[in-house]
Amino acid sequence: MYTISELQEIIETAIKKVEYPAEPSKLYEPIRYIMGLGGKRMRPVLLLLSSELFNDDVTIAIEGGLAIETFHNFTLIHDDIMDNAPIRRGKDTVHIKWGVNNAILSGDVMMVEANRHLTRLDVSVLKDVLTCFNNTASGVCEGQQLDMEFEQRADVSIAEYINMIRLKTAVLVGGCMKIGAIIGGARTEDADLLYDFGVNFGLAFQLQDDILDVYGDPLKFGKQVGGDIISNKQTFLLLKLKELANAEDLRRLDSLSSSTDHMAKVQSVTTLYNRYKVREIAITEMERRADIAFTSLEKVNIGTARKAELDQLARSLINREH
């Protein structure tokens, strides 16, 4: 079995080898651009790891990994348009570089490219993989829709938020795990257990993201600590605070939302978080999701040794500091 970094290299090499038509260059150049921006390629790596649980030949899953990574990057292009985001991984977003129309269209053709990768899989797994992929893809769209709607609402509940991040982020992780398992030849029960693992692990990962944005070590975090607070992003922490805070603190929070003194704002909101122990509550929720995930993984009907690499990767991602 391969190590994580070997799997990353396998995916990175495969991504570099994908050929897109030369023309129309404005349609295909953005695809090369965003696929080349890098990242840890965690989604395809998880897909390969999942396949490897059941089949030593990891090469059978590469097209699945490429499909997921292409699909993920397509959603980034379109999300960045909708969110009006200028920067992605430290570079101009596609719609800034090529304009909105081109970004829409290049995204569309990436969705086709993702399906093209899947179509190259062995015909014996094609129908199950496509079914899972389509469910995953529409889930991600639903999550983005809810995310946009929640930005306009002041009364989002924790349950709604969890459902939104489940759709927007976690089902794709679940999809990676299940698609990898199907390609590797897993039985349906095991593929479904790995889906549950992925979804709950994805939720834990996102909750850790929310926590790190406030409590991450500034030297290790990579982004501006408190970025979510500055942009009034509705995270688990903020929604939990709104649920727990008394009237006076709610007024304080409300007045802070328009503050332009970013440092003071981050400090004051963090003080409120601390007052109501929302960090601890978030960690408890994260750990609960992680426990569900690892329980599902344990139930997968293969030897423990085979799961070691996946188990270790998942634990390191949840316990990450950046």
User: Can you give the binding site for a copy of itself, defined by CB under 8 A?
Assistant: 21, 23-24, 26-27, 78, 81-82, 101-102, 104-105, 107-109, 111-113, 115-116, 118-119, 123, 126-127, 130-131, 134, 137-138, 141-142, 144-146, 148-149
2 or 150: CB nearest a copy of itself: 150
CB of 111 vs a copy of itself, minimal distance in Å: 5
CB of 257 vs a copy of itself, minimal distance in Å: 23
What values do phi and psi take at 108, rounded to 5?
-55, -45
How deeply is 86 buried, as exposed, middle or buried, from its count of CB atoms within 10 A (0-12, 13-18, 19+)?
A: exposed
69 or 113: CB nearest a copy of itself: 113
CB of 144 vs a copy of itself, minimal distance in Å: 6
CB of 36 vs a copy of itself, minimal distance in Å: 20
Beta-carbon contacts of residue 92 (< 8 Å; ≥ 6 apart): 86
118 or 156: CB nearest a copy of itself: 118
CB of 152 vs a copy of itself, minimal distance in Å: 11
15 or 137: CB nearest a copy of itself: 137
Measured distance CA(72)–CA(184) in Å, rounded? 21
130 or 292: CB nearest a copy of itself: 130
111 or 253: CB nearest a copy of itself: 111
Two tokens, residue 257:
């939302």
93 or 296: CB nearest a copy of itself: 93
CB of 174 vs a copy of itself, minimal distance in Å: 16
CB of 69 vs a copy of itself, minimal distance in Å: 17
